[in-house]
Amino acid sequence: MIPASPAQPTCLMSNSSRKIAVIGIGNPLRKDDGIGIVVLNLLCAHYVKTRCNASLQNRYDYFDFGTSSIDLANKLSGYKRALLVDGINAGLKPGQLKIFGLKETEAQNIKENLSSTHQIDLGQLLSLAKSLKLDTDIYVAGIQVEDISFGTALSKTLSDNTASYVSQISDFLTFL
């Protein structure tokens, strides 16, 4: 049997980067499930087009994490702050964007009411981050999905709102 090695009161992972990780999550082959990837790509293009200030641009690292799972913990560990852009099924109005801190949602019972549509849900991610003593501030830009059946196109509801998502999220990032 493997001898147990009790947790030490230290962070398992160090996060040295002063940058902010912007991470898109989702599967573009499942319609609205890919909204995180679509918005991530639009955000990149938006910053290239509109932000002349190089120091501001350099604040962010962008990652397409697709349908990855536990790997996310490794990536988050390298950053003080991170924003996950993800499709969520939270009982909101289809297409509604909600930006929130992952720690804040603990009181809202996110395991039942807010779940990501991917291999690791937000509740599990929170549990993992806490267990690993990850001190990254994790924020979520969650977009309520309408249709996650198989297909490569977003639903019209979400497709019509992508410019708004980019605007709201980039504003949030500016002040993060």
Partner 1 sequence: MTKNSNKTKNVKIDVQYLTRVEGHGNIVVDVKNGKLAKCEFQVIESPRFFESMLVGRSIWEAQHITSRICGICACGHSLASVKAGEDALSVTPSDQTVMLRKLLLFAEMMDSHILHIYVLVAPDLLGVKSIFPLIKTHQSMIERALRMKKMSDFAGEVLAGRHIHPITYVIGGLTKLPSKENLEKLYSMMIESRKDAEETVRILKTLHFPEFERPTQYLSLTNDKEYAMYEGSLAVSGEKKLPDKEYRSLLSEKVLGYSSAKVAHINGKPYAVGALSRFNNNFGKLNKKAKAVANELGIKASCNNPYLNTVAQLVEWVHCLEEAIKIMERILKEGLDGKKSVVPSWPKRNETDRKYRSATGVGCVEVPRGTLFHEYTIDESGHITAANCVIPTNQNMANLEEDMRKLVPELIMGTGRRPPAPSEEITLSLEMLARAYDPCISCATHMLDVKFI
Residue position matching structure tokens 């560990």: 77
The residue among 1 and 175 lying less far from partner 1, judged by its C-beta, is 1
Nearest to 143 by CA among 85, 103, 59: 85
Whole-number Å distance between alpha carbons of 71 and 119: 11
Q: Which of 66, 147, 159, 170 lies at the binding interface for partner 1 (CB under 8 A)?
A: 66
Q: Which stretch binds partner 1 (CB under 8 A): 38-46, 58-66, 101-109, 154-162?
A: 58-66
9 binds partner 1 (CB under 8 A): no
Q: Which of residues 97-136 bind partner 1 (CB under 8 A)?
A: 115-121, 124, 127-128, 131-132
Task: Name the token pair of 117.
Answer: 């549509």
28 binds partner 1 (CB under 8 A): yes
Asked whether the beta carbons of 23 and 82 are under 8 A apart, the reply is yes
**The residue type at 55:** S
* CB atoms closer than 10 angstroms to residue 13: 16
Minimum CB separation of residue 175 from partner 1 in Å reads 29
φ, ψ (nearest 5 deg) of residue 150: -70, 135
Whole-number Å distance between alpha carbons of 65 and 123: 18
The residue among 153 and 163 lying less far from partner 1, judged by its C-beta, is 153
Minimum CB separation of residue 120 from partner 1 in Å reads 7
Site string for partner 1, 69-88 (x = CB under 8 A): xxx-xxx-------------
Task: Name the token pair of 161.
Answer: 């709102």
Binding residues for partner 1, rule: CB under 8 A, are 1-2, 4-8, 12-13, 27-30, 64-71, 73-75, 115-121, 124, 127-128, 131-132, 150-152
